[in-house]
Amino acid sequence: MKTVNSLSGGKTSSYIAMNYPADIEIFALCCIDSHNAGRDIDKKIIQMVNDKLQKYCSHYPEFVATSEDPKVLKVMFNLEQQIGREIVWLRGIGWEEMIKIKKAIPNQAKRFCTTILKMNPIFEYLYKYHELPVKMRIGYRYDEAERAERLNNWFKLAYKCEWQDKSCRWLNRWKEVQWRIGEFPLIENKITHYQIKQYWEGRGIDFPKDSNCLNCFWKAEEQLRKNFETSPPVMSWAGIMEDMQGNTFKSKMNLWQIKKLPVQLDFFYGTGSGCQAGFCTD
């Protein structure tokens, strides 16, 4: 059974890559298919990312922007150099296509974004090229051990499509596939956030202050406000998507209202997002 390190570009999953080598190092990038959202990304980096994605994801649009902090792109290239092993880069459909299909903005009542943007492309790659299930290391630390109990190792797969004469339409037939067995080396070895922070000091990788999608509904309003300063193209794109779709990431405020809030000096920034779909935060 092959081992897989699920990488996010944060300190925790990068720590796993450095200290627990796997058969497959894998990174799924959340993509925006709007050039405006990526206007601050260096063109050379964009080309390097496309060169990576071309290997397994040439059937998806070219990369032009990401909803994550653009620093994560350099982190993954630097991490690959430090571990001395290939990192497989993947992407699925972009944010715009996802919102069009779901007819909704992701929020706490509709938590479909991580499954579509990250889990789907990882499952697709493993299903095509490797035998399932795999042993997948997940970056849950000892100080967040309760998250391991919620990990889902099964994937709902549309294995065939049938034409229905009565309804005059195609219907998918679904089955559940066990695609991974979760492993939690940081919990087993009692590794906490403090230890990981200490490990990365002086190692020459500039991690993003805020990990995962900058517009994520799990993030506090104070963090979203701060992200308007650090990554205005991404946050402005997200605000426009709210306007176009007619609903919002947060239940009480839209992003344009959040942008008008004062920056909170006493708020602890950079806590990532509490994604519930089986991927690490920071």
pLDDT tens digits, residue range 141-167? 999 999 999 999 999 988 888 888 777
Q: Supply the CATH number for residue 77's domain.
A: 3.40.50
pLDDT averaged over the chain?
A: 92
Does the residue 266 lie in any domain?
no
In tens, the pLDDT along 38-58 reads: 999 999 999 999 999 999 999
Does the residue 225 lie in any domain?
no
> Structural domain tally of the chain?
1
For 111, residues 6+ apart whose C-beta sits below 8 A from its C-beta are 276, 277
How many residues does this entry show for the chain?
282
Does the residue 94 lie in any domain?
yes
Does the residue 42 lie in any domain?
yes
Does the residue 246 lie in any domain?
no
Mean pLDDT of the 168-187 span? 92
pLDDT of residue 281: 45
The residue to which tokens 């007819």 are assigned: 103
Does the residue 281 lie in any domain?
no
In tens, the pLDDT along 97-120 reads: 999 999 999 999 999 999 999 999
Q: Where are the alpha helices (DSSP H) in the chain?
A: 11-19, 43-57, 71-83, 95-102, 113-114, 120-129, 185-188, 193-200, 221-230, 232-245, 255-259
Does the residue 8 lie in any domain?
yes
Asked whether the predicted pLDDT for residue 272 surpasses 70, the reply is: no
Contact criterion met (CB below 8 Å) for 133 and 181: yes
pLDDT of residue 15: 97
Range of the domain at 157: 3-208
Does the residue 273 lie in any domain?
no
The backbone torsions φ and ψ at residue 60, rounded to the nearest 5 degrees and listed phi first, read: -105, 165
pLDDT of residue 256: 97
Q: For residue 181, name the pLDDT band (cuts at 50, 70, 90).
A: very high
